[in-house]
Amino acid sequence: MKILFLGDIVGRPGREIIKENLLKIRNLENIDYVIANYENAAHGFGVTIKTANELFSLGIDAMTGGNHTWDKKEISSLFETHNVIRPVNLPEGADGEGVLIDEVNGEKIAVVNLMGYYTMPMVDNPFTIMESIVDELERQEIKHIFIDIHGEATSEKNALLQMFKGRVSAICGTHTHVGTDDLQIYGGTGYVTEAGLNGCFDGVIGMGSKEPIYRFKTGMKASYEVPKKCLKIFQGIVFDLDSSGKCIDSYKVKAYDNVQPFISQKAFHH
C-alpha cells in the first residue's frame, strides 16, 4: 500500500498547486491513498464545504485538521458527509471524530489526527490518548496506522516516534509549515517531523511577508493574508507499506510552478 501525505494546504495557491500535480503524482508513483491536512485550506484558516469538495475532487481520500479546524463553523457538517477528521485529543463533547478507519485494496487503514500541547489550544494528553488508541487498533488487528501529529514542538513529535516506532506505519508532523530533512524509517515506522506546506513558497509560512514582518518588528497584531500571486510549492511524503503495515520505503516528492515533480529526498533507514 502506497500512501501519499500532504501537509497543510494553504489557501487558493495550495489548492492550485495540488490541482496541477496530484493526479499526475498519483499515477507516476502508483499511489493508493492520499491524506492531506485541511487546516489552512480556505484562505489560510480552516476549511469550507466548497473547498473540501474541491480538494476531494482533486484526488484526496481523507483529510486531517489542527488548531484551525473550527475557524469555519460549517466544518461540523463535513464530519458527517466526508472523510474529514479533527484532533482526537480535543476535550470530550467536541464534534467529529479523530480516527478514521477506511479500506484500501481490501486492507484496513486507520488515520489518526493528534494535536500537541505546546502553544496549542486546550487538548487532552496526546501521549496517553495515543497509547489507548494504538492498543485498540491492535486489538482490532488493523495493521496500517497513520498519524498526523499537528504541533509546534519538535520534541513532542520526536517523543511520539520513540513511543510508537514499530507499532504504527507512519507519523507525520504538521503545523509549522517548513519541511524538515529528517525523513526516516525507524523500526518499520516512517517518520518526518514536519511535512511542509502546500502553497506559497516565497512569503512567510504560506502567507504574505508584510504582516508578519510588521508583527515581529512592533509586537502589534496583524491579520495574515494569503498572497494572490506567489511562487507555489507542492510537497508530499510517500510511504510504501507492506502487508504487515511496516514502512519499507519512504521519500519526498516536490514540484514548483511549471516544474515536473521530482523525488527530493529518500528516507534514512535505521
Active site residues: 68
C-alpha to C-alpha distance for 65 and 113, rounded to whole angstroms: 7
Half-sphere exposure of 220 (CA within 13 A, CB side): 6
Angle between helices 154-164 and 126-139 (to 10 degrees): 30
DSSP string, 46-83: S--HHHHHHHHHTT--EEE--TTGGGSTTHHHHHHHSS
Cα separation of the two ends of the chain: 21
C-alpha to C-alpha distance for 25 and 138, rounded to whole angstroms: 31
Residue type, 16: E
Residues 6 or more apart whose Cβ sits within 8 Å of residue 172: 5, 7, 146, 147, 148, 149, 191, 192, 195, 237
C-alpha to C-alpha distance for 102 and 145, rounded to whole angstroms: 11
CB 223 within 8 A of CB 207: no
Q: What is the CA radius of gyration of the chain?
A: 17
C-alpha to C-alpha distance for 261 and 99, rounded to whole angstroms: 31
